[in-house]
Amino acid sequence: MISIREQDYGLDVALFNEFTLADFQLLEQAMLKRLEEREKPDLLLDLSELKDFTLDMAMEEVKFMRAHEEKMGRVAIVVGDVWIKLASHIAGLLSHTHVQYFDLVEEAQAWLVRPVAA
């Protein structure tokens, strides 16, 4: 299950239980919309309630990030589970986006609202 909220900096996305291809397609549509509306939108991914993800979703996520990484801003990932953190870190190695990991959503939001250093 996925929850997507637009923010001034980009999108807040929370994932619950299993992250499926259908969930990713909703995220992809929201990201494409934000890419049209603003330059280099940032993304907060709250994976703290995520239990599992599907392989087809993971493959689509890597394809999407590689295709759009120059247009993306920073990515803040909130994650507690060590295996989900490892999987997201490995996926991050396949792209050149600026990813930062956090324990709390509030810390991630505070990081994203700060101006980007030149």
Strand 10-19 to 42-53 pairing: parallel
Q: Could you tell me the CA-to-CA distances from 4 to 34, 82, 105 in Å, in that order?
A: 12, 24, 14
Q: Which residue has the higher pLDDT, 80 or 114?
A: 114
For each of the domains in the chain, give its residue range(s) and CATH number, in order of start.
2-113 (3.40.50.10600)
User: pTM here?
Assistant: 0.81
CA pair distance 90, 74, nearest whole angstrom: 17
As a whole number of angstroms, the distance between CA 39 and CA 93 comes to 23
The predicted-structure confidence for 62-98, as pLDDT tens digits, reads as follows 788 778 888 888 888 898 766 666 666 555 544 556 7
pLDDT of residue 70: 86
